[in-house]
């Protein structure tokens, strides 16, 4: 077993993830084709291609594959792949794509517009068919070249795509029109193919523009980083490129300037706007020893910061990487779209063939006359059947379906990043809408995580409050417990006297003991007092119980086994915790608190926060078991913790929400990281997740309804009753707008109120 585990660890070490930027994709079917192709490469464990983002995330075994193999595979499929996600390069590629589509659109518009009056109205125009041929041919084979390239690439890989549908449909219309040019048939449809290709290019052009807006979040984050920095080298200040900063450089940040990279303040005092990092609008005070983060804005004084993290190690870079990975990941709900897209195009081609064959047979056999009024029997039977088939081919497009999920995920994760809510993957974003119970860790999550002295009570006339605090602080000074820090800080604030301690000893779970002068001093809980041989009077016991009922931890100070004072410490509730709990309850969620505190203290804190469900006296190692018990009731559970002590519980939960900070954002155990460490952001994350899934479902609905209604209409199912045959031109326009409408609907997520 040990050998197998070692082998498994070895395999894990060989696994590598790489981001690819893909160009040349025209529709969701392209993404499916590339996904299948990459998945077949030996050594590839996982491949996910995001059509909306133009990226691929591939996990592979380095011993069996490499980056060159992956890019070569993409190239063999007819597309171009480059290693890494470079926002600047991606921006240039998108600009080039939009420019190319714009050029094609202009050419297509200039050439196809004249074909409409020539093809439909000016029947007696001299050399009409020749002019139509001259206008339509460049559109068919130059403007529409990419459709042929895509169709050929798909055919080589034994599949079909949207390019296949457009290429088949427009080519059929063009060839039939060519036959008319040479006098073999009477009807021509040059204007149909030309206008159709131009409309599809228009749709692609609009789609490219709005898709760019969906991925704005990462570009905006990257643009936050300053391009240059002032550093001190050789005793002189000099301006260098931010990319040239090295570890240990002292950076000079003047008022209004952005901090170039992460580090520690070595001199100066100022306030810094960290909203880009945490979403928090209130500036944070910075002084010597404070942590500073790249791309945050210095507001007032001059700061001298020692560079301690550069490049990919900075907080901003980690945020960008998390958002990139989330946007490139695949949500479980996407599987439905994948399954439909995989069989969609072949089914559409089959329906188009059946539409052509069925109508041609019905019309030529005379059967159609039995259910179609004589006035509606078309004069040109072959043309009628051909138009129905072409309309089916062009109206059915898997693009809208393929864009439904990734565009919403991109906008949702981008909005979350701007608000300081980082989703590590699409599955986490989707998981938020399934949550039915939220479990909060107490310390550092609902509370400040920094205990403070709240009460000092003298139990002996020989020891006043100042003396009690002085003795307690003196003996606790050697302890590393958080409560000890609180007592020492309080003593310093009150200028209390610290006395020398001998024979110091910490007793885990009890307290501390030692000698001050010739007196034996003990300080700790009731267990400590009892083990030291002391006992509390009824009045003192009552005071201690009253303190604990307020959510305070009280400790007894004993001098020579005699209780002389009580010191109460409390980890105060965060101001926003009650609001956070109230917001979650409004969302219809159960709220629980889990803590290692005794029941009385736990109940007091929970009451202040507005929580009725309390799990007290739970050891850190048992928190995961408590989460599992809630799950066994059929509840989908979100665990909210600090990401360190609560790691097992965060991992056990259906959704792990880690409280983060600017200095450590990539907390491994959580699915969601709250940069501000604000409990209110838990409800915001869930609201954002619900809104995103709602948009995805809306997109699915409209994409599917469009095809469910559009394909039968295009196949002329309603013709016997209405006499209306859907023009392929109208079908093409509807197809183009369907994709744009899905992306635009996803973009409305940006105005979601959290």
71: Cβ–Cβ under 8 A, 6 or more apart, which residues? Answer: 20, 81, 82, 83
Strand order in the sheet with 270-273: 284-286, 270-273, 297-298
Interatomic CA distance for residues 181 and 660, integer angstroms: 71
Pairing of strands 437-441, 590-594: parallel
Tokens of 480: 């590393």
Cα 641 off chain centre by: 20
Q: What are the distances in angstroms from CA 285 to CA 139, 276, 316?
A: 63, 16, 20
**Which residue pairs from 590-594 have beta carbons closer than 8 angstroms and sit at least 24 positions apart in sequence?**
590/436, 590/437, 590/438, 590/635, 591/437, 591/438, 591/440, 592/437, 592/438, 592/439, 592/440, 592/630, 593/439, 593/440, 593/442, 593/446, 594/439, 594/440, 594/441, 594/442, 594/618, 594/623, 594/626, 594/649
Tokens 């790249």 map to which residue?
A: 294
How many residues appear in the chain? Answer: 754
What's the token pair of residue 558? 């004993």
Rounded CA Rg of the chain: 35
What's the rounded Cα separation, in Å, for the pair 162 and 27? Answer: 6
Q: Which of 441, 654, 678, 681 is catalytic?
A: 441
Determine whether 597 is an active site residue.
no
- Tokens representing residue 465 in the block: 């409050």
Cβ pair 364, 357 in contact under 8 A: no
Q: How many CA atoms lie within 13 A of 154 on its CB side?
A: 29
Report the distance separating Cα 472 and Cα 747, nearest Å: 59
Given a contact cutoff of 8 angstroms between Cβ atoms, the answer to whether 708 and 174 are in contact is: no
Letter string b/e over residues 490-509, b meaning 16 or more CB atoms within 10 A of that residue's CB:
bbeeeebeeeebeebebeee
CA-based nearest residue to 388, from 741, 739, 720, 26: 720
Q: How far apart are CA 150 and CA 25, in angstroms?
A: 9
- CB of 187 closer than 8 Å to CB of 390: no
> Which parts of 31-96 are beta strand (E)?
44-50, 55-61, 80-83
**Distance in angstroms (rounded) separating the CA atoms of residues 422 and 415:** 9
Angle (CA) 325-328-331 rounded to 5° is 105
Q: Judge contact between 363 and 384, C-beta under 8 A.
A: yes
Burial 287-310 (b: 16+ CB within 10 A, else e): eeebbbbbbbbbeeeebbbebbbb
Which sequence positions are flagged as catalytic? 441
């Amino acid at each position: 077993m040990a050998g197998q585990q070692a082998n498994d660890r070895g395999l894990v070490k060989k696994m590598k993830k790489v981001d690819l930027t893909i160009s040349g994709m025209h529709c969701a079917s392209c993404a499916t084709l590339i996904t299948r192709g990459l998945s077949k490469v030996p050594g590839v464990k996982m491949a996910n291609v995001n059509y909306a983002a133009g990226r691929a995330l591939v996990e592979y075994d380095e011993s069996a594959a490499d980056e060159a193999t992956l890019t070569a595979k993409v190239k063999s499929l007819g597309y171009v792949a480059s290693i890494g996600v470079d926002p600047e390069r991606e921006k240039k590629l998108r600009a080039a794509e939009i420019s190319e589509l714009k050029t094609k659109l202009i050419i297509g518009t200039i050439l196809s517009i004249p074909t409409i009056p020539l093809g439909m109205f000016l029947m007696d125009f001299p050399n009409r068919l020749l002019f139509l041929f001259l206008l339509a041919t460049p559109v068919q084979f130059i403007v529409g070249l990419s459709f042929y390239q895509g169709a050929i690439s798909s055919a080589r890989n034994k599949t079909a795509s949207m390019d296949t549908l457009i290429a088949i449909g427009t080519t059929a219309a063009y060839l039939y029109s060519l036959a008319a040019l040479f006098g073999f048939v009477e009807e021509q449809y040059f204007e149909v193919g030309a206008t159709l290709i131009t409309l599809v290019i228009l749709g692609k052009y609009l789609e490219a523009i709005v898709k760019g807006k969906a991925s704005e979040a990462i570009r905006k984050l990257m643009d936050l980083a300053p391009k240059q920095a002032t550093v001190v080298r050789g005793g002189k200040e000099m301006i260098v490129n931010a990319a040239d900063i090295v570890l240990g450089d002292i950076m000079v940040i003047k008022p209004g300037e952005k901090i170039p990279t992460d580090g520690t303040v070595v001199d100066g005092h100022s306030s810094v706007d960290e909203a880009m990092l945490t979403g928090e609008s209130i500036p944070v005070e910075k002084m010597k020893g404070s942590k500073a983060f790249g791309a945050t804005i210095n507001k007032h004084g001059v700061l001298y910061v020692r560079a301690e993290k550069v490049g990919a190690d900075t907080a901003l870079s980690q945020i960008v990487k998390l958002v990139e990975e989330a946007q490139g990941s695949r949500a479980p709900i996407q599987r439905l779209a994948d399954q439909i897209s995989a069989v969609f195009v072949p089914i559409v081609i089959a329906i188009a063939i059946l539409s052509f064959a069925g109508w041609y047979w019905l019309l030529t056999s005379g059967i159609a006359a039995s259910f179609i009024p004589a006035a509606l029997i078309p004069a040109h039977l072959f043309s009628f059947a051909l138009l129905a088939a072409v309309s089916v081919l062009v109206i059915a497009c898997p693009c809208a379906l393929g864009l439904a999920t990734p565009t919403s995920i991109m906008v949702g994760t981008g909005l979350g990043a701007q608000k300081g809510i980082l989703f590590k993957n699409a599955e986490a974003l989707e998981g938020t809408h399934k949550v039915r119970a939220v479990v909060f860790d107490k310390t550092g999550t609902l509370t400040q995580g920094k205990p403070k002295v709240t009460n000092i009570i003298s139990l002996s006339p020989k020891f006043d409050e100042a003396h009690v605090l002085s003795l307690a602080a003196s003996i606790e000074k050697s302890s590393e417990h958080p409560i000890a820090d609180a007592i020492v800080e309080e003593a310093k604030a009150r200028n209390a006297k610290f006395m020398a301690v001998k024979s110091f000893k910490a007793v885990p779970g009890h307290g501390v003991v030692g000698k001050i002068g010739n007196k034996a001093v003990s300080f700790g809980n009731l267990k400590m007092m009892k083990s030291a041989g002391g006992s509390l009077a009824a009045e003192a016991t009552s005071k201690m119980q009253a303190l604990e009922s307020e959510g305070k931890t009280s400790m007894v100070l004993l001098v020579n086994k005699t209780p002389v004072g009580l010191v109460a410490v409390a980890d105060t509730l965060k101001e926003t915790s009650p609001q956070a709990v109230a917001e979650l309850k409004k969302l219809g969620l159960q709220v629980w608190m889990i803590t290692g505190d005794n029941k009385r203290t736990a109940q007091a804190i929970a009451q202040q926060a507005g929580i009725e469900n309390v799990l007290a006296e739970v050891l850190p190692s048992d928190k995961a078991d408590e989460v599992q018990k809630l799950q066994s009731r059929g509840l989908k559970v979100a665990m909210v913790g600090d990401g360190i002590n609560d790691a097992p519980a965060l991992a056990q939960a259906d959704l792990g929400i880690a409280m983060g900070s600017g200095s450590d954002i990539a907390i491994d155990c959580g699915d969601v990281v709250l940069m501000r460490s604000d409990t209110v952001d838990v409800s915001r994350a869930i609201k954002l997740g619900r809104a995103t899934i709602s948009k995805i479902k809306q997109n699915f609905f409209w994409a599917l309804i469009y095809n469910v209604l559009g394909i039968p209409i295009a196949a002329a199912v309603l013709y016997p009753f209405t006499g209306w045959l859907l023009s392929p031109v109208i079908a093409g326009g509807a197809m183009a707008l369907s994709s744009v409408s899905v992306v635009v609907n996803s973009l409305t997520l940006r105005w979601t109120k959290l």
